[in-house]
Amino acid sequence: MRNLLTIFRREFVSYFTTPLAYVFIVIFLVMAGMLTFFVGNFFGRGQADLQPFFEFHPWLYLVLIPALSMRLWAEERRSGTIELFLTLPIRMTEAVVGKFLAAWCFAGVALALTFPFWVTVNLLGHPDNGVILASYIGSWLMAGALLAIGACVSAVTKNQVIAFVVTAALAFIFTGAGSPAVLGALQGWAPQWLIDAFAEMSFVDHFSGITRGVLDLRDVAYFVSIMIAFLCANTILVDLEKAE
């Protein structure tokens, strides 16, 4: 446990010692703002909720989360610090979870810094803050799931650009799993049960339930199980790839 915290602390602080954190947060906030107020027609629709804000999170994450996850392991392998890191007396799970938590908490910080939106909507009307809180939690869980996928991809390559692109592609598949664009690739040859199972994986579907105010345990469990599954895969992959 101690080691996990030490690793977490090191990783988390390292986000803020480079411009990475600040650039990421600023761009995230600016894009969220533009999408909410203009594309989402926040003012025009005249409703006191943050639906137009949360609606775009899956697509914001599609582009920004891979940028966070790509460096998790690829950077260590490229700079050689992975050899130092993995010869310290730490368990692989401590290493994997420590890094993941640091990235997830950083995403949480970025998300928390969107509080001006929440303040705005409360000043302009009487929104259901319970729904908004649930939506924030759901969004954070979704970010976590994407980060876990990204961390896993980052573990198998030294090249951060490859990690970014592959993660973004996987994020697109998971996010838009219910849409005709993705399902269309399966139709025609896959059995119906596979298409249905695949459609079930859609991040957007699980997330939109939450943003409408229904914090269904199944949706939460879905994101959490994605995280756990990919973190396990991450642990195995780092072990396999560390020396090659």
Partner 1 sequence: MLEIQNLVKHFGALIAVDDVSFAVARGEVLGFLGPNGAGKSTTMKMITGFVPPTSGTATICGHDIAQAPIAAKRCIGYLPEGAPAYPDMTAAEFLDFIAHIRGFSGREAKRRIGRIVETIHIGEVIHQPIETLSKGYRRRVGVAQALLHDPQVLILDEPTDGLDPNQKYEMRKIIDEMRPNKAIVISTHLLEEVEAVCSRAIIIAHGRILADATPEELVRRSRRHNTVRLAASGAAEAQIRAELLRLPTVAAVEAPGDGEGLQIFPRNGQDIVADVADLVRAHRWRVVSLRVDRGRLDEVFREITAGAAERPLVAAAA
Neighbours of 173 (CB within 10 A): 17
Q: With contact defined as beta carbons under 8 Å apart, do 88 and 178 qualify?
A: no
Rounded to an integer, what distance in angstroms lies between the CA atom of residue 17 and that of residue 9? Answer: 12
Q: Which of residues 60-89 bind partner 1 (CB under 8 A)?
A: 79-81, 83-84, 86-89
Shorter beta-carbon distance to partner 1: residue 73 or 174: 73
Shorter beta-carbon distance to partner 1: residue 103 or 132: 103
Shorter beta-carbon distance to partner 1: residue 88 or 214: 88
Q: With contact defined as beta carbons under 8 Å apart, do 135 and 215 qualify?
A: no
Question: Smallest distance, Å, CB 97 to partner 1?
Answer: 15
Shorter beta-carbon distance to partner 1: residue 16 or 43: 16
Question: Smallest distance, Å, CB 82 to partner 1?
Answer: 8
**Residue 237: which of 122, 156, 151 has the closest Cα?**
156
Q: How far is CA 229 from the centre of its chain?
A: 14
1 binding partner 1? (CB under 8 A): no
Question: Smallest distance, Å, CB 18 to partner 1?
Answer: 6
Angle at 215 between CA 105 and CA 42, to 5 degrees: 80
Q: What DSSP string runs through 192-213?
A: HHHHHHHHHT-HHHHHHHHHTT
120 binding partner 1? (CB under 8 A): no
Shorter beta-carbon distance to partner 1: residue 19 or 184: 19
Q: Which residues bind partner 1 (CB under 8 A)?
A: 2-3, 6-7, 10, 14, 17-18, 79-81, 83-84, 86-91, 242-244
